[in-house]
Structure formats: C-alpha cells, structure tokens
C-alpha cells in the first residue's frame, strides 16, 4: 500500500483504525481483548477476518460500532472523519453498520416500525409511507423473506437464518458506507447462504467497504474478498488473499499460533 | 457513552416531564363554583351533599353509616404505609358543584369548562367514535349524551345521581351489593361522599357495539373526587365502557377514590377500559369489582399512568359456570410515583377461566408493585387460570415488586404463573442505536414494544393516545 493510502484521512479510504485496543471489565480489573489493531479499508474493498473462537473478533466489531461496555483506545476513522468519540447512533448515521452475530429480539416492536425509524435516522428525514412500502417490498423480495414478516416483532422467535437475512436486508436498506458483518454466514443452509451472499454483494459498490468476519470458506467464495486477515489473540497476525483461506481450511490455526508467539516475543 | 452522560440525560427528561404534563393536562381553570364545601370530613358535609342532591332517605342513611365505617376502619397496613399515612383527610374538599346545570349540548356547558374539555379532546372524540359520553368536572357530571338509537333500545347511560332519581329501583337493588360499604376503608369513604360517576344498564340481548365513555376531571386544589359507577349488562348483552381522567398539577395533594361495580348477567360481555393519567399530586385509591354470571365475560383493561400513589386491584368474582374473567393492566411509575396495582380473581363456580396479564414499567426512582390474588373456591372444579407479570426497569434506581397469592381449594385446577423482571437491555439499546436511533428514541421503542400486548387491546384512538402519553413520560417532549 502506498504511504498516501496509509493516511486514514485519505478520501480513498472508507474506514481505518489505528493502534486500536479494546478493554473489558474483569472484576475490578480490566482485560485487554483487542491488543493493537491497524486496519485500512479502501473504497470498493471487501476484507475478510478469520480467527479462532474467542480471539476477539466480535469484540472488535462491537467496539468499532461503539458498544458501551468496552473501553477503547486508539483511532477509528470513517469517511475521513474520526468517529471514536461518537455514540453508536452517530456512527450509524454516518454510515457504519454492524450485522450482529446474535441479533437480539425486541418484542412488541414490529419489523416495519423498526425499519422505518432506522431508515429515517440514517437519511435524516422521514420516509413517506408509500415510498417506504415500495422499498421494503423490493428488499424483502431480494432477501427472499416473506412479506408477512413486516408485522412480526423484531427478531422475536425468528430462526437463526431468518435473523441473518433480516440483518442483510437492513444493510440493503440503510446503504452503509462501511459494514461490519459478524459471522453473517453462520447457521445458514446452502440456499440461504447464497441469498445472503448475493445481498451482501448487491449492497457493496465502488464507494463503500466491508469487513466480513467468518469461520468458513464457502461465503468467501461467493463474496470474493480483496483482502483476508487472520486474527488471533486480539491481533492481526497475517494479511493476504484467498490463498490464506485455503491454508487455514487445510491446516487450521496452529501453525500461525507459533508465529504469533514469535511476534509477541519480539514486541516485548 | 459514559455512565454520567446517561444519568444527566435522565435528569433532563425528568424536569421536562412535569413541564409537559402541566401544559397538556396540568393546567387549571380559575375557580368559579356554585358550591364548594369547606375542607374536612364530617357528618355535616355528608348531610349537606345528600340534601343538595335531594336524595331519598335510604341513601342518606347509607352515607352516614358509611362515614362511621370509614372512621372505624384502620388504614390498610399491607401497602405503601408511608404514603397512605401522609394523606390529610381534613385538607380535602369533599364536594364541589360547578356552575350551570347538566347539559346535553356542549354549547350549554359553561364556557370555561367547555374549553377545558375541548382542550382534552372530549367533544372531538365523541363526534368521531363514541356512542355516548359523560364528562364529570369536580363532583358533578356537567355533560352527558347518548346516541338516540341506543336509548330506543332501552340502553341507559347517565350519571349516577340522575340514575338514583330516575331509576331508583335498579340503583337500590344493586348499589353496594358488589362492593359493600365496609369492603375496605376507601370504599366506605366513597360510599359516604360519592358524587357523579356513571350508571349503565344494557337490556337483554342488546349489543352496544361502539364504546361509551366517561371523562373525569379534577380542577380545584385539594379536591376529592368520589365518583360511583354501576354497570349492569343484562343477559346476552354487551358493552364497552371507557374512562379517562386527568387533573391539574398542584403542589398539594388531591384525592380520587372511586367505587366501580359491574354485573354481567348470563352470557353478557362487559369490557371496562381505563386510561388514567393523574397528575403526580393525586392519590388514586379505587375499588373495582365485577360479578360474572354463567357464560359471561368480564374484562378490565386498566392503564395506570400518573398519580402519586395508586392502589387498585380490579376484581372479578366468577359466579356462574364457564364465566371468563380477564384483567389486563399496565402501570408506569416515574419519579416519585408508586403504582400499586394488580388483580383479584375469584373462581366461585365450576369450569370458570381467568387470565391476568400485568405489565409494569418503573423509571428513575419510580416503584411498581403487582399484588394479585387468585382464589379457587371449594366446589369450583375444572377451572383454569393464568397469571403473567412482566416488569421493566429503566435506570438503576427503579423498583418493582410482586406479591402474587394463589389460594386454591380444588385439585383439578390448571394454574399457570409466570413472572419476569427485565431491564431495558443494554444489548437491545445497542442494537437499535447501531441502526441510527438515538438512545431516547431507542428506549421509547423498547418500552412501547413492552406494552404492545396491552395497547393492541385498545380502540385505535386510545392506542394512539396511550403511546403518546408514554412518549411524554419517556421523553418529556411531544412532537
Ligand atoms: N463484556 C465482556 N466481559 C468479559 N469478557 C468478555 C466480554 N466481551 C468479550 N469477552 C471475552 O473476550 C474474548 C473474545 O470474545 P469474542 O466474542 O470477541 O470472540 P470471537 O472471536 O468473536 O469468538 P467466536 O468466534 O466464538 O464468535 C472471549 O474470551 C470473551 O469471553
Ligand atoms: Mg464472535
């Protein structure tokens, strides 16, 4: 990458973080989960993030979105602007999006009401009912979700696959600049995986970027990431292309553990 | 998003809540009355009320006896003692009669009072979706109307005082039969000084398909409002009655203590909906009970917002086989408020069924208590009952407690009980915020979702109104 592109404020970059550390409360002490991450996503790029269970991927994604239970050090950039001091809704309005690994249910709130409110917040203006219906119908068709879901309560009693589809449906509607997709492929059957991947691809364009967290190659075959990162114990330990994915499928993470340990040793 | 910011926002909202109530409901008219009893409770006041109303001797006797019962009965000791003990019964006006006669045309209602009800949207609601309205101001009903076709069918809907004059035999037959004078201290108080309230009789087979509504407005400071309501739904009839209430915001207390008696004869259906939104200086101590005969259905739909202390446990005695009773309630306790609400269900006949759903929201240092009693009498075999209590807490200092009691004398009874307490979840908030909703809006959405099962039981106009009231409580600003 050229030096200019390393500048997080460069308009060619849609997202960047610098020296990012994330801490959680652990009794009266703190535990460091993300331990210094530098990442730059250029417009039009898709990045994949793979790493073992418990390595801190979800923590990284939630912290980037501004989850209140984490203390964060370092810089977070979105569209050339620092957003690390902003609340989650302010980041969302500026175009950050998080597809949750485990979307929560909000009983009593209909999908339609929720989507309309989200859309209004993102666009900064109320959406006329008819225009909203139109958009909604299209998005539901794209995601293969039955239109009857608009009157269901948000994620309440949804199957795992239905939740994930609704996450990507939101991505399609909200048109984020930068999306964090946390294991959006987990728990999907083969057809649903195709629908979800197509949705992600449709929502991606030359102006925006995404970071896709996954354990599996199959979604990456659909989404075709430009860059693949391996994340272990709170750090990016390797960056490459699809060949990294193949290597991981064959060999697991162990061979990288040793390298990570070496890297760790060399830091101290 | 630090802890401190959150607290500050909440505090900001608190001030705003009071500001808003004052503007919308908490205003008051200048006092201009035909008659205002001096403060204090005694036999002279009781006598005066009864004389002014030209009541028959039996009613006057009932009142005086009730005052003695009130005095003899100790304060209930199982509730919010501190709050109850701070009621100063000598600092209350027990009867205030506004100027003018009861009108059947809004144009005949005194200007000031008409303006008040206009501001509260009552005439408009009447035009749009009600079959009949009574509007009570202080102690007296100042306006009343009922659709002509209903009158032709024999439906009676009027204030209780008029009913005592015009239908003395029905009133005498039922008055105090569902809730005897000495049921509790406050039913005795109401019986001594009652004034106004609604009387409804629905003849056999008549279905009143559009709601009848009563609106209760307190205006004066240190006012006591003691309406008395009696609804009789004869065999195979049905009726939906709605009541709403508000009061001005004053620094000193007012007292509202109603008695509501319902009778659902065989196969009749009564739904009684309350949306109360008292200002935070009102003690609201209400006794409500229904008798449900064979195959009848009685539903209390009870929305409790506002007030300083509410104690209210709508009751249903399922007296006939297969009768069904439901109490569906929500309570919202904000800063300085205690909502002590619940339900009482007595299965007194075989194969009767009941359902209690209670939802409460406590915010800031508000406290909601659920107090419920389900009793299945000996001989009442084959009964089914379910109780569901759901409490939602907003903020670290909010309080919720539940006191469910089951008293079951038969063995083949199906009892379901569920109680949940949840906080407005950080994960729910974060989810909504991550979609661009600001924290206030997100919280409001979660709360509205929480009460949705209640709201969807309301007629559309009231659902809208209730959501607006909740928004007011939550945000302190209404768009
Ligand atoms: N709020 C918290 N308090 C304490 N520990 C936490 C908290 N959040 C995350 N952790 C811990 O941080 C570590 C990383 O968790 P995280 O969910 O980010 O992993 P992950 O890489 O997403 O794993 P998976 O692949 O299983 O989804 C785990 O050990 C987890 O228990
Ligand atoms: Mg995870």
Q: What is the pLDDT of residues A208-218, one digit of tens each?
A: 999 999 999 99
Neighbours of B407 (CB within 10 A): 10
Instruction: Determine contact, residues B301/B462, Cβ cutoff 8 Å.
Output: no
Same domain, B134 and B273: yes
Specify the DSSP element, H or E, that contains A230. Answer: strand A227-232
Is residue A244 scored above 90 in pLDDT? Answer: yes
Same domain, B19 and B60: no
- Domain end residue (candidates: B312, B341, B375): B312
Arithmetic mean of pLDDT, A160-181: 97
Position B7 in a domain = yes
> With an 8 Å Cβ cutoff, is B448 touching chain A?
yes
**Distance from the alpha carbon of residue A117 to the mean position of ligand 2, in angstroms:** 27
CB contact under 8 A, B452 and A108: yes
Same domain, B21 and B93: no
Residues of A in contact with B451 (CB under 8 A): 108
Is residue B478 scored above 60 in pLDDT? Answer: no
List all residues whose CB is within 6 A of at least one atom of ligand 1. A 24, 26, 33, 51, 53-59, 69, 101
Instruction: Determine contact, residues B134/B144, Cβ cutoff 8 Å.
Output: yes
pLDDT, residue B425, reads: 79
Closest ligand 1 atom, CA of A101? 27
> With an 8 Å Cβ cutoff, is B432 touching chain A?
yes
Instruction: Determine contact, residues B322/B62, Cβ cutoff 8 Å.
Output: no
More confident residue, A266 or A110: A110
Identify the residue whose tokens are 């006598």. Answer: B47
Residues of A in contact with B453 (CB under 8 A): 108
Is residue B60 scored above 50 in pLDDT? Answer: yes
> Which contacts (CB < 8 Å, 24+ apart) does range A23-29 have?
A23/A70, A23/A71, A23/A72, A23/A73, A24/A59, A24/A69, A24/A70, A24/A71, A25/A69
pLDDT, residue A262, reads: 60
Same domain, B280 and B215: yes
**Cα–Cα dist B57/B63, whole Å:** 10
Lowest-confidence pick of A155-159, B168-172, B271-275, B460-464? B460-464
Q: What is the pLDDT of residues B17-50, one digit of tens each?
A: 335 677 778 888 888 899 999 999 999 999 999 9
Q: What is the pLDDT of residues B155-201, one digit of tens each?
A: 999 999 999 999 999 999 999 999 999 999 999 999 999 999 999 99
Closest ligand 1 atom, CA of A234? 14
pLDDT, residue B31, reads: 86
Question: What is the value of pTM for the model shown?
Answer: 0.81
Position B203 in a domain = yes
Band (A259; pLDDT cuts 50, 70, 90): low
pLDDT, residue A24, reads: 94
**Distance from the alpha carbon of residue B161 to the mean position of ligand 2, in angstroms:** 68
- Domain end residue (candidates: B277, B312, B347): B312
Nearest ligand atom owner, CA of A53: 1
CB contact under 8 A, A109 and B451: no
When divided into structural domains, chain B yields a total of 2
Is residue B473 scored above 60 in pLDDT? Answer: yes
Interface test with A, best of B424, B434, B443, B463 (most A CBs within 10 A): B434
pLDDT, residue B460, reads: 81
Same domain, B80 and B150: yes
CB contact under 8 A, B427 and A104: yes
Residues of A in contact with B441 (CB under 8 A): 117, 121
Same domain, B36 and B22: no
pLDDT, residue A260, reads: 59
Position B261 in a domain = yes
Lowest-confidence pick of A153-162, A201-210, B425-434, B463-472? B463-472
Percent of chain B residues past pLDDT 70, beyond the cut: 95
Best residue among A28, A54, A184, A233 to mutate for probing ligand 1's pocket (most ligand atoms within 8 Å of CB) is A54
**Distance from the alpha carbon of residue B393 to the mean position of ligand 2, in angstroms:** 29
More confident residue, B459 or A39: A39
Same domain, B290 and B434: no
Same domain, B221 and B158: yes
pLDDT, residue B399, reads: 93
CATH number of A3-256: 3.40.50.300
CB contact under 8 A, A108 and B448: yes
Same domain, B10 and B79: no
Indicate the residue of A104, A106, A118 with minimum beta-carbon distance to B436: A118
CB contact under 8 A, A109 and B448: yes
Q: CB within 8 A of B57, min separation 6: which ones?
A: none
**Cα–Cα dist A198/A222, whole Å:** 8
Closest Cα to atom 14 of ligand 1 = A56
Q: What is the pLDDT of residues A54-94, one digit of tens each?
A: 999 999 999 999 999 999 999 999 999 999 999 999 999 99
Nearest CA of chain B to the CA of A122: how many Å? 6
**Distance from the alpha carbon of residue B58 to the mean position of ligand 2, in angstroms:** 76
More confident residue, A267 or A111: A111
Q: What tokens does B442 get?
A: 């997100």
Is residue B334 scored above 50 in pLDDT? Answer: yes
Band (B467; pLDDT cuts 50, 70, 90): confident
Is residue B6 scored above 80 in pLDDT? Answer: no
Nearest ligand atom owner, CA of A233: 1
Same domain, B113 and B247: yes
Residue in chain B nearest A124 by alpha carbon: B436
Is residue B317 scored above 80 in pLDDT? Answer: yes
Identify the residue whose tokens are 């009794």. Answer: A27
CB contact under 8 A, A103 and B441: no
Instruction: Determine contact, residues B338/B318, Cβ cutoff 8 Å.
Output: no
Q: B78 lies in which domain range?
A: 31-312
pLDDT, residue B22, reads: 74
Band (B9; pLDDT cuts 50, 70, 90): very low
Q: What tokens does B114 get?
A: 């008409």
Closest Cα to atom 6 of ligand 1 = A24
pLDDT, residue B14, reads: 31
Same domain, B306 and B449: no
Arithmetic mean of pLDDT, A3-17: 90
Instruction: Determine contact, residues A60/A229, Cβ cutoff 8 Å.
Output: no
Band (A6; pLDDT cuts 50, 70, 90): confident
Band (B247; pLDDT cuts 50, 70, 90): confident
Mean pLDDT over the full length of chain B: 90
Position B393 in a domain = no
Is residue A265 scored above 80 in pLDDT? Answer: no
Q: Tell me the range of A253-267, B227-241, B274-288 where mean pLDDT is highest.
A: B227-241
Position B47 in a domain = yes
Is residue B153 scored above 50 in pLDDT? Answer: yes
pLDDT, residue A245, reads: 93
Which 3 state secondary structure label does DSSP give A84? coil
> With an 8 Å Cβ cutoff, is B433 touching chain A?
yes
Band (B7; pLDDT cuts 50, 70, 90): very low
The string of DSSP letters for A12-75 reads TEEEEEEEEEEEEEETTEEEEEEEEEEEEEETT-EEEEE--TTSSHHHHHHHHHT-TT-EEEEE
Q: Helix/strand/coil (H, E, C) string of chain B?
A: CCHHHHHHHHHHHHHHHHHHHHHHCCCCCCCCEEEECCECCCHHHHHHHHHHCCCCHHHHHHHHHHHHHHHHCCCCCCCCHHHHHCCCHHHCECCEEECCCCECCHHHCCHHHHHHHHHCCHHHHHHHHCCEEEEEECCEEEEEEECHHHHHCCCEEEEHHHHHHHCHHHHHHHCCCCCCHHHCHHHHHHHHHCCCCEEEEECCCCECCCCEEEEEECCCCCEEECCEEEEEECCCCEEEEEEEEECCCCCCCEEECCEEEEEECCCCEEEEEEEEEECCCEEEEEEEEEEECCCCEEEEEEEEEECCEEEECCEEEECCCCCEEEEEEEEEECCCCEEEEEEEEEECCCCCEEEEEEEEEEECCCEEEEEEEEEECCCCCCCEEEEEEEEEEECCCCEEEEEEEEEECCCCCEEEEEEEEEECCHHHHHHHHCCCCCHHHHHHHHHHHHHHHHHCCCCHHHHHHHHHHHHHHHHCCCC
pLDDT, residue A219, reads: 95
pLDDT, residue B26, reads: 84
Same domain, B22 and B46: no
- Domain end residue (candidates: B312, B337, B356): B312
pLDDT, residue B303, reads: 92
**Distance from the alpha carbon of residue A217 to the mean position of ligand 1, in angstroms:** 22
Band (B306; pLDDT cuts 50, 70, 90): confident
């Amino acid at each position: 990458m050229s030096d200019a592109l390393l500048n997080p404020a460069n308009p060619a970059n849609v997202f960047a973080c610098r020296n990012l550390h994330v801490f959680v409360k652990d009794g009266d002490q703190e535990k460091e989960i993300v331990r210094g991450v530098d990442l730059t996503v250029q417009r039009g790029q898709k990045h994949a993030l793979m790493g073992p269970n418990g390595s801190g991927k979800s923590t990284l994604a939630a912290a980037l979105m501004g989850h209140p239970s984490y203390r964060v050090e370092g810089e977070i950039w979105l569209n050339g602007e620092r957003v690390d001091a902003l609340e989650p809704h302010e980041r969302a309005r500026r175009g950050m999006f998080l597809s949750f690994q485990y979307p929560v249910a909000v009983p009593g709130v209909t999908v339609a009401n929720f989507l309309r409110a989200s859309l209004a917040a993102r666009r900064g203006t109320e959406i006329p009912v008819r225009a909203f219906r139109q958009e909604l119908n299209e998005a539901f068709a794209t995601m293969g979700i039955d239109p009857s879901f608009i009157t269901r309560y948000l994620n309440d009693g949804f199957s795992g696959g239905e939740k994930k589809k609704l996450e990507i449906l939101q991505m399609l509607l909200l048109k984020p600049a930068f999306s964090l997709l946390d294991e959006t492929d987990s728990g999907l059957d083969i057809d649903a995986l195709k629908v979800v991947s197509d949705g992600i691809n449709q929502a991606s364009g030359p102006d925006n970027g995404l970071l896709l967290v996954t354990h599996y190659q199959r979604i990456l075959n659909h989404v075709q990431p430009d860059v693949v990162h391996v994340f272990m114990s709170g750090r990016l330990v390797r960056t490459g292309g699809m060949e990294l994915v193949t290597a991981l499928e064959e060999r697991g993470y162990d061979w990288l553990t040793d390298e990570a340990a070496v890297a760790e040793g060399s830091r101290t | 998003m630090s802890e401190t910011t959150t607290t500050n926002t909440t505090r900001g909202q608190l001030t705003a809540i009071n500001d808003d109530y004052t503007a919308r409901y908490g205003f008051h008219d200048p006092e201009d009355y035909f008659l205002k009893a001096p403060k204090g409770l005694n036999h002279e006041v009781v006598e005066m009320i009864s004389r002014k109303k030209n009541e028959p001797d039996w009613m006057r006797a009932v009142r005086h006896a009730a005052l003695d019962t009130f005095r003899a009965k100790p304060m209930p000791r199982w509730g919010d003692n501190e709050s109850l003990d701070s009621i100063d019964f000598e600092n209350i006006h027990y009867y205030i009669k506004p100027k003018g006669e009861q009108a059947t045309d809004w144009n005949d209602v005194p200007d000031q009072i008409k303006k008040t009800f206009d501001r509260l949207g009552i005439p408009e609601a009447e035009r749009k979706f009600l079959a009949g309205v009574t509007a009570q101001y202080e102690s007296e009903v100042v306006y009343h109307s009922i659709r002509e076709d209903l009158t032709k069918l024999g439906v009676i809907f009027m204030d209780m005082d008029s009913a005592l004059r015009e239908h003395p035999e029905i009133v005498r037959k039922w008055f105090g039969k569902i809730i005897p004078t000495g049921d509790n201290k406050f039913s005795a108080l109401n019986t001594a000084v009652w004034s106004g309230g609604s009387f409804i009789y629905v003849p056999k087979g008549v279905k009143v398909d559009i709601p009848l509504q009563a609106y209760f407005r307190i205006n004066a400071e240190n006012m006591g409002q003691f309406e008395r309501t009696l609804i009789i739904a004869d065999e195979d009839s049905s009726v939906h009655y709605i009541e709403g209430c508000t009061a001005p915001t004053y620094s000193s207390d007012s007292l509202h203590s109603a008695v509501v008696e319902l009778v659902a004869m065989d196969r009749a259906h009564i739904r009684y909906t309350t949306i109360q939104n008292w200002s935070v200086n009102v003690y609201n101590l209400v006794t409500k009970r229904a008798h449900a005969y064979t195959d009848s259905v009685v539903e209390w739909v009870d929305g409790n917002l506002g007030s300083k202390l509410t104690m209210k446990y709508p009751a249903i005695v399922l007296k006939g086989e297969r009768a069904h009773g439901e109490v569906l309630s929500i309570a919202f306790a904000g800063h300085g408020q205690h909502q002590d609400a619940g339900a009482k269900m007595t299965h007194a006949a075989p194969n009767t069924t009941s359902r209690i759903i209670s939802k409460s929201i406590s915010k800031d240092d508000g406290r909601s208590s659920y107090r419920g009693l389900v009793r299945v009498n000996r001989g009442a075999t084959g009964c089914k009952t379910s109780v569901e209590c759901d409490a939602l807490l907003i903020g670290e200092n909010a309080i919720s407690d539940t006191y469910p009691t089951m008293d079951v004398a038969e063995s083949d009874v199906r009892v379901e009980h569920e109680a949940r307490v949840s906080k407005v979840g950080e994960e729910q908030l974060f989810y909504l915020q991550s979609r661009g909703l600001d924290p206030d809006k997100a919280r409001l959405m979660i709360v509205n979702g929480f009460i949705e099962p209640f709201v969807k039981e309301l007629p559309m106009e009231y659902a809208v109104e209730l959501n607006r009231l909740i928004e007011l409580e939550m945000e302190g600003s209404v768009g």
